[in-house]
Copies of this chain bind each other. A is one copy, B any other.
């Protein structure tokens, strides 16, 4: 839409700005039909910088897993399109990405029982300090980390949720095994911020990258809150769709 120029002396190195620009350009026709980027010399001319500066940008994107380059041939994009993740009343990780990635999977990184803090207690409608179970999860599409979420469940109602998730790799199935066959999204809040340490590690991002943060509550058929979760998405790999009804 607007051709964002580079800014010097604003605390962001040119190679990083160019890297962000290239990432954005991918999917907007920067690469050709084979996913091949223009040669370094041409990019340098287009951005009005030295080739070494473009090379630094490309090196960073290669490190992130966005690009891959071959001597004598050129530099190629690893994945062309951004995923679209639906946010609606009936969001399920795997079903939402169907048709966009061959392999979709939820991995349980960690789980623990802990007393609910004020926010979690309020969201789940529990008294403060009541025991809840916290799950740390990673969502993957074709082996690439897409989302990193933290969820809380009542320890009384879902004592075995962690085991079920570990076994089935699915929240929907784990809830079904716990006796909750249906659930829906009651509310979602979305914000954006720079990636922090946890994000860069788990989502394989570089510092300065953007994460979308979605916080929300899932309720059962009777409207009773069963899950509070906070999910971080890589803004480079995902966009969110708010589906009506």
Instruction: Give A residues with C-beta under 8 Å from B.
Output: 1-5, 7, 10-13, 15-17, 19-20, 24, 56, 60, 82, 84, 87, 89, 185-194, 196-198, 206-208, 210-212, 235, 239-245
Query: How many monomers of this chain does the complex have?
Result: 2
Q: Does the CB pair A206–B10 fall under 8 Å?
A: yes
Q: Looking at the assembled complex, report how far the CB atom of A134 sits from the nearest CB atom of chain B, in whole angstroms.
A: 12
From B7, B13, B17, B242, A190 is in contact (CB under 8 Å) with B242
Which residues of B lie under 8 Å from residue A239 when comparing CB positions? 189-191
Q: Does the CB pair B13–A207 fall under 8 Å?
A: no
Q: Does the CB pair A17–B207 fall under 8 Å?
A: yes
Given contacts A12-B16, A239-B189, contact A244 B89 (CB under 8 A): yes
Residue of B at shortest CB range from A3? B197
Which residues of B lie under 8 Å from residue A1 when comparing CB positions? 196, 198
Which residues of B lie under 8 Å from residue A56 when comparing CB positions? 11
Which residues of B lie under 8 Å from residue A13 when comparing CB positions? 11-13
Q: Looking at the assembled complex, report how far the CB atom of A30 sits from the nearest CB atom of chain B, in whole angstroms.
A: 15
Given contacts A192-B192, A207-B7, A207-B17, contact A187 B242 (CB under 8 A): yes
Give bound CA distance, A190 to B188, whole Å. 13
From B11, B82, B185, B190, A60 is in contact (CB under 8 Å) with B11
Q: Looking at the assembled complex, report how far the CB atom of A60 sits from the nearest CB atom of chain B, in whole angstroms.
A: 7
Closest 6 CB pairs of A and B: A11-B16, A4-B196, A192-B192, A11-B13, A191-B239, A192-B235
From B185, B198, B208, A244 is in contact (CB under 8 Å) with B185
Q: Does the CB pair A188–B4 fall under 8 Å?
A: no
Given contacts A89-B244, A198-B2, contact A193 B12 (CB under 8 A): no
Given contacts A13-B11, A210-B194, contact A242 B2 (CB under 8 A): no
Give bound CA distance, A5 to B84, whole Å. 30
Residue of B at shortest CB range from A14? B11
Q: Looking at the assembled complex, report how far the CB atom of A203 sits from the nearest CB atom of chain B, in whole angstroms.
A: 13
